[in-house]
Amino acid sequence: MIAQIDHIIKTTLKDSPTGAAVAVIKNGEPLAVKGYGAANLEWDIPVSGDTVFLIGNLTMTFTAVGILKLAEDGKLDLQAPISYYLPEFPTSGHVVKLEDLLNHASGIQCYSLLPNWRSTAHVDMSTHQMMGAFAPHPFLFRPGSKNRYCDSNYFLLGMVIEKVTGTAYHTYMEKQFFAPLGMHHTGPFNPQIITPCRASGYNLTPKGLKNAPYFSYSQMYAATGLGSSINDLVIWDRALWQHQLLKPESMAALSIPRTMPDGNPAAYGYAWIATSYSEHPVICDTGIEFGFRSFFARFPEDDLSIILLSNLEETNVRGATLDIARQVLDLPVIHRRPFMPNRESIRRCLGSYDIDGATVTMKLTPDNQIELTAGRSLRLMPMSAHSFYDADDPDVTVSFAAEIDGVYTQIRISAPLVPSYIGYRVKPTKAGRTLKSVARDDVLPLIHVM
């Protein structure tokens, strides 16, 4: 099994000198806990079990546990409105319950999707200054009626933890969970703090690798700001699923989505995405921030956890996680039937599309390869005249529809463990029609998936 995992990780890294760490835990026991590549390229420091990676949105799964523990202790009520704990937050007449924040059903604008946020993410801000940056924006929908992944929800939950406990978010998490469990390499991933064993983050550009941009922990906080090591996450995994942290009913709330007003299940439990793969139930979450990428998948009926961390933002951690799951669970390998479309069929698909504010572009490279740029560049192989798959990750498919004036105007990107993404051509057609994106309400930002 170790040899197969080694092959998967090395294939995923594609000869990049950057690093990764993986843990595979089956029936409560580690099958593999291993580091690969470099934690820091300048010093050629290898990744170890204690290397600290920024875990990004996986932070939310920790914050959710913190909130549920306070609810178990009778210190807060998940059905209470946020205005009870944070009266300074403007709700515009809406009732936003803590539970709405937990399962991404608040309707609050996500601060990390605001225009130009990433270019100002280096600025230190207080929690109330950050709240003031997204609070004035109109609600996207009535709280509790829909799902929409939102960093702002968990930023506010961090503030609720501070209000209820009278201590800093990271101090509460350290004293309540990390220190008692012996998780000595988990805490704020703050560039201003000396952090032993911290990895450096990198981005892959057309000109090669570069250091990831500087960011302020103050803007990431309880939503995306924690760092951890693969050894610590193995400890956390064991404590979480063996009910050392929360009661069984609280654990069920983490992973079982509630029913939405339309009768359909929500896309999320509390922080975790609830889905399935090859008829195996899965709860999972992913993180991508400033040179780092992470994925945590739990197959509850198989008692299997797979955790993957990388210090290269463009690493396909989701695909590698599923490759490992197929090996461990002996699941069938995806095979695609080749198809040879004519050049005119491909031309109808080419162009730029808008998906929830993110632009994805389908183009032909100088050597006539079909490429889709969406967070990372995908090399596509045809399955039909209007559908394709990722040559490096055949689970990912891209299809086109709604032909107008000789070009397709709709794109759908589908991948396991996440909802599909639907977008529309951003440039006018020959007839002059301007096609606008219709955003899905239950999706992660596209960059978190591709």
Average pLDDT of the residues of the chain: 91
pLDDT tens digits, one per residue of 380-409: 999 999 999 999 889 999 999 999 999 999
| Neighbouring-strand partners of residue 23 | 33, 307
Per-residue model confidence (pLDDT) at position 90 = 96
For residue 441, what pLDDT band results from cuts at 50, 70 and 90? very low
Query: For 24-31, which contacts have Cβ atoms below 8 Å and span 24 or more sequence positions?
Result: 24/304, 24/305, 24/306, 24/324, 24/328, 25/234, 25/237, 25/238, 25/304, 25/305, 25/306, 25/307, 26/302, 26/303, 26/304, 26/328, 27/303, 28/238, 28/241, 28/242, 28/303, 30/234, 31/1, 31/328
Query: For 180-186, which contacts have Cβ atoms below 8 Å and span 24 or more sequence positions?
Result: 181/235, 181/236, 181/239, 181/244, 182/235, 183/228, 183/232, 183/235, 183/236, 184/232, 185/50, 185/52, 185/227, 185/228, 185/229, 185/231, 185/232, 186/52, 186/226, 186/227, 186/228, 186/229, 186/232, 186/236
**Side-chain-side CA neighbours of residue 32 (13 Å):** 21
Assess whether pLDDT exceeds 60 at residue 435. no
For residue 375, what pLDDT band results from cuts at 50, 70 and 90? low
Per-residue model confidence (pLDDT) at position 230 = 98
- pTM here is 0.90
Structure tokens at 243: 């009910």
Query: What distance in Å separates the CA atoms of residue 383 and residue 76, rounded to the nearest whole number?
Result: 52
Contact 381, 392 (CB under 8 A): no
Query: What distance in Å separates the CA atoms of residue 39 and residue 185, rounded to the nearest whole number?
Result: 14
Assess whether pLDDT exceeds 80 at residue 119. yes
| Neighbouring-strand partners of residue 265 | 259
Of 292, 285, 324, 328, nearest in space to 309 by CA: 292
Structure tokens at 267: 């896309």
Sign of CA dihedral 305, 329, 417, 313: positive
Per-residue model confidence (pLDDT) at position 393 = 87
Assess whether pLDDT exceeds 80 at residue 379. yes
Contact 113, 278 (CB under 8 A): no
**In which residue ranges of the chain is CATH 2.40.128 found?**
343-448
Residues near 73 by Cβ (< 8 Å), separated by ≥ 6?
none
**In which residue ranges of the chain is CATH 3.40.710.10 found?**
2-329
Assess whether pLDDT exceeds 50 at residue 429. no
Per-residue model confidence (pLDDT) at position 338 = 80
Per-residue model confidence (pLDDT) at position 357 = 73
Per-residue model confidence (pLDDT) at position 450 = 53
Residues near 120 by Cβ (< 8 Å), separated by ≥ 6?
none
**Range with the poorest average pLDDT among 116-120, 260-264, 271-275, 328-332:** 260-264
pLDDT tens digits, one per residue of 26-77: 999 999 999 999 999 999 999 999 999 999 999 999 999 999 999 999 999 9
Query: What distance in Å separates the CA atoms of residue 385 and residue 407, rounded to the nearest whole number?
Result: 12
For residue 442, what pLDDT band results from cuts at 50, 70 and 90? very low
Backbone angles phi, psi at 101, to 5 degrees: -70, -40
| % pLDDT > 70, the chain | 94
Mean pLDDT of 165-190: 98
Mean pLDDT of 138-149: 92
Mean pLDDT of 157-174: 98
Per-residue model confidence (pLDDT) at position 358 = 80
| Neighbouring-strand partners of residue 374 | 376
Per-residue model confidence (pLDDT) at position 439 = 39
Contact 368, 340 (CB under 8 A): no
Contact 250, 182 (CB under 8 A): no
pLDDT tens digits, one per residue of 254-285: 888 878 887 877 778 899 998 999 999 999 99
Per-residue model confidence (pLDDT) at position 147 = 86
Q: Which CATH architecture has domain 2-329?
A: 3-Layer(aba) Sandwich (3.40)
| Neighbouring-strand partners of residue 81 | 97
Assess whether pLDDT exceeds 50 at residue 433. no
Of 242, 299, 296, nearest in space to 62 by CA: 296
pLDDT tens digits, one per residue of 351-370: 999 987 788 999 999 888 99
Higher per-residue confidence, 352 vs 450: 352
Assess whether pLDDT exceeds 50 at residue 436. no
Of the options 1.10.10, 2.70.98, 2.40.128, 1.10.357, the CATH number for the domain spanning 343-448: 2.40.128
Token pair 């197969």 is found at 4
